[in-house]
């Protein structure tokens, strides 16, 4: 028998190749053919040919990120997480051998068993993921509707005592009606794609039907519909009902029509009746109360609302808190209340614009890479992409997040006081340029003031960066230009401690970071040294070990900021534990704080709790530092070899038995 496998993890650095190695070893042990395609940070390797796929008896996808399955129609396909590929490779292969896996068909609702059918982001909140799926499909309808209405009003509108009105029978009235039609899809699309995210295609029709009922109060005797709140409830209800029906065991003769007839019909009936008879009325009353309360907000209460919305939008920069406020403003557009989305539209763009402005005005607060990111952040802000602020916030959250929140709250309040309205579910100057904003002058005043407030808060809260010093060929210290010192001045400031740094013995400090980032790497010991090996780690906790190993990197001159690099490590740990089992942990981070590719190796004989998938304590710990600016992939290739070597039981045993750094270095030197 011949099988194929694909492995991939979110970062594509370690787990991808460990799973590949274990699947290959398990296949060899079981006497079956196996070819493994890896989709890691350096791209696709060992890619399948059409002939490979045609000859394969089955395919395994062991991944925690999306993998295209369209190549495998008509083949037995088993989907699992990357940890299953590492920990249970034999079980996955045996499932294929015993024929316990269905053939993958690109038909509505049919997904392979043995996995989720779709890749589940590790440790991600599934409710949030389903909600964001619906929101992402809904937003284009709101944008189209809002822009069409805004264009129709700005060009074809005529002043009246009640505001701009478009004459009946005119061309622009037709354009306005098209925009209105787009709005009618908002709630059904939201509900439909929430259900689709939960139950795949069988959930789509019930979700959209439930969303349509939620948006039309006439079904349950209410003048007002249940709005976006009802749409969210309808989407989740439809999705989980469809998912429940999908799990029914039915005769083989009925199975083919389950996803296209039985599941959609039954789920639509259940959701529709539930909304008409039970849920619709109460939800509609609550939504009606909420809308009336917001419309009545004036004076100090409206300022409080603006403060809350501004804080929510900037707090997590596109995350769940941001999306709650954004969705709220979008729903108010559908209700004809544009003055809620106005302050939100201002708050959306202030974090990236304000941080970009700060990198221009206060350069000493940022590293070179951050100043380059500032240009991109500023541009993203112009187009209303709050996520442009994330790189800055992830590196220094305690200072950056309060700064952008205060800036967004300031801009939001100014917009609320200035009665800025926005007819499109989007933010940034782009919506003002396209004519979707009411009171454009106040909109730009709010954006400018809020952005400057953010930049000034950065100046007040953020410390000046300490530019790293690197020794030149003649031993003189050359500082980064942004430090404001020239080489001659640096020469005069060499202290005994700096002399030690500049000495030839400290090899990492004798090369510029740019040169090392692009230095060809042929073996692991090209990016590890005796100073980066510790055979007797003293820390007794995961975070303690991380701090201890980061200290080694800092002493080596491989990182510019211990706190920034630690945040990158912890961000990766939040995605999923890097404790891969078998007494191994591979914490890793890609960060602008990493100046050169480095690996730190440590041993803790008693082990450290790393929340490993198999419950074993981490005794062999490899910390990987990858520069954010690195454009080459040699170090990643070495890390592949390391990851695969760690799957060798004898190699792990030998590492655990070393008595000195020299012995460990000699073993690691074999990885090439």
Least Cα distance to 559 among 524, 525, 600, 522 occurs for: 600
Q: Which of 9, 349, 426, 635 is catalytic?
A: 9
Least Cα distance to 30 among 53, 54, 49, 57 occurs for: 57
What residues contact 73, with CB distance under 8 A and at least 6 apart? 104, 105, 106
Cα 345 to the chain's mean position, in Å?
A: 22
Structure tokens, 570? 């912890």
DSSP 519: S
What residues contact 395, with CB distance under 8 A and at least 6 apart? 370, 561, 564, 567, 568, 591, 592, 593
Residue 629 and residue 645 in contact, taking contact as beta carbons nearer than 8 Å? no
Query: Is 588 one of the annotated active-site residues of the chain?
Result: yes
Cα 237 to the chain's mean position, in Å?
A: 26
Q: Which of 367, 426, 588, 635 is catalytic?
A: 588
Distance separating alpha carbons of residues 419 and 566, to the nearest angstrom: 44
Distance separating alpha carbons of residues 70 and 61, to the nearest angstrom: 13
Least Cα distance to 154 among 447, 444, 431, 442 occurs for: 431
Distance separating alpha carbons of residues 254 and 102, to the nearest angstrom: 16
Distance separating alpha carbons of residues 57 and 35, to the nearest angstrom: 12
Structure tokens, 31? 């006497």
Query: Is 349 one of the annotated active-site residues of the chain?
Result: no
Alpha-carbon radius of gyration of the chain: 29
Distance separating alpha carbons of residues 489 and 482, to the nearest angstrom: 14
Distance separating alpha carbons of residues 143 and 454, to the nearest angstrom: 28
DSSP three-state, residue 103: strand
Residue linked to tokens 């041993």: 603
Q: Which residues are catalytic?
A: 9, 588
């Amino acid at each position: 028998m011949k099988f194929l496998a694909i492995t991939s993890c979110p970062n594509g650095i370690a787990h991808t190749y460990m799973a590949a190695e274990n699947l290959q070893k398990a296949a060899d042990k079981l006497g079956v053919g196996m070819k493994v395609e890896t989709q890691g940070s350096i791209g696709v390797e060992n890619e399948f040919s059409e002939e490979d796929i045609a000859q394969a008896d089955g395919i395994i996808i062991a991944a925690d990120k999306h993998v295209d399955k369209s190549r495998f129609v008509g083949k037995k396909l088993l989907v699992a997480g990357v940890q299953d590929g590492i920990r249970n490779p034999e079980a996955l292969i045996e499932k294929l051998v015993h024929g316990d896996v269905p053939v993958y068909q690109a038909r509505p609702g049919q997904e392979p068993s043995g996995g989720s059918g779709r890749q589940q982001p590790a440790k991600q909140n599934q409710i949030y993921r389903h909600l964001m799926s619906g929101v992402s499909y809904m937003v284009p309808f709101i944008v189209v509707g809002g822009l069409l209405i805004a264009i129709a009003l700005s060009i074809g509108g005529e002043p009246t005592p009640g505001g701009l009105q478009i004459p009946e029978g005119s061309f622009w009235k037709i354009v306005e009606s098209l925009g209105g039609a787009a709005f009618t899809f908002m709630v059904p699309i939201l509900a439909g794609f929430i259900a689709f995210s939960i139950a795949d295609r069988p959930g789509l029709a019930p979700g959209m039907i439930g969303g349509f009922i939620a948006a039309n109060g006439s079904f349950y005797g209410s003048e007002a519909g249940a709005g976006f709140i009802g749409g969210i409830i309808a989407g989740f209800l439809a999705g989980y009902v469809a998912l429940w029906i999908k799990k029914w065991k039915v005769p083989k003769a009925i199975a083919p029509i389950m996803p296209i007839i039985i599941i959609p019909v039954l789920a639509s009936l259940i959701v529709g009746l539930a909304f008409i008879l039970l849920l619709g009325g109460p939800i509609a009353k609550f939504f009606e109360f909420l809308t009336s309360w917001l419309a009545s907000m004036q004076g100090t209460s409206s300022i409080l609302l603006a403060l809350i919305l501004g804080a929510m939008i900037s707090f997590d920069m596109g995350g769940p808190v941001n999306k709650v406020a954004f969705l709220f403003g979008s729903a108010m557009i559908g209700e004809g209340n544009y003055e809620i989305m106005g302050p939100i539209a201002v708050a959306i763009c202030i974090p990236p614009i304000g941080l970009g402005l700060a990198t221009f005005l206060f350069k000493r607060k940022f590293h070179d890479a951050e100043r380059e990111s500032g240009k991109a952040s500023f541009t993203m802000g112009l187009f209303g992409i709050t996520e442009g602020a994330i790189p800055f916030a992830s590196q220094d959250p305690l200072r950056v997040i309060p700064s952008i929140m205060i800036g967004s709250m300031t801009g939001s309040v100014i917009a609320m006081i200035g009665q800025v309205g926005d007819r499109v579910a989007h933010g940034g100057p782009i919506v003002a340029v396209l004519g979707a904003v009411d009171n454009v002058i106040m909109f730009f005043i709010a954006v400018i003031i809020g952005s400057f407030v953010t930049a000034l808060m950065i100046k007040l809260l953020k410390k000046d960066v300490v530019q790293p010093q690197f020794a030149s060929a003649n031993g003189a210290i050359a500082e980064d230009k942004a430090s404001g010192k020239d080489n001659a001045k640096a020469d005069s400031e060499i202290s005994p401690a700096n002399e030690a740094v500049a000495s030839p013995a400290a090899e990492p400090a004798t090369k510029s970071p740019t040169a090392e980032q692009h230095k060809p790497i042929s073996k692991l010991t090209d990016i590890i040294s005796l100073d980066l090996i510790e055979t007797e780690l003293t820390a007794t906790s995961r975070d303690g070990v991380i701090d201890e190993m980061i200290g080694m990197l800092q002493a080596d001159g491989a990182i510019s900021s211990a706190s920034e690099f630690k945040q990158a490590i912890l961000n990766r740990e939040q995605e999923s534990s890097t404790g891969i089992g078998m007494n191994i942990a591979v914490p890793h981070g890609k960060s602008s704080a990493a100046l050169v590719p480095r690996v730190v190796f440590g041993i803790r004989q008693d082990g450290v709790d790393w929340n490993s998938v198999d419950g074993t304590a981490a005794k062999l710990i490899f910390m990987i530092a990858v520069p954010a600016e690195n454009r080459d992939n040699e170090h990643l290739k070495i890390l592949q070899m390391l990851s695969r070597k760690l799957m060798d039981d004898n190699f792990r045993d030998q590492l655990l038995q070393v008595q000195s750094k020299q012995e460990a270095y000699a073993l690691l030197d074999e990885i090439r």
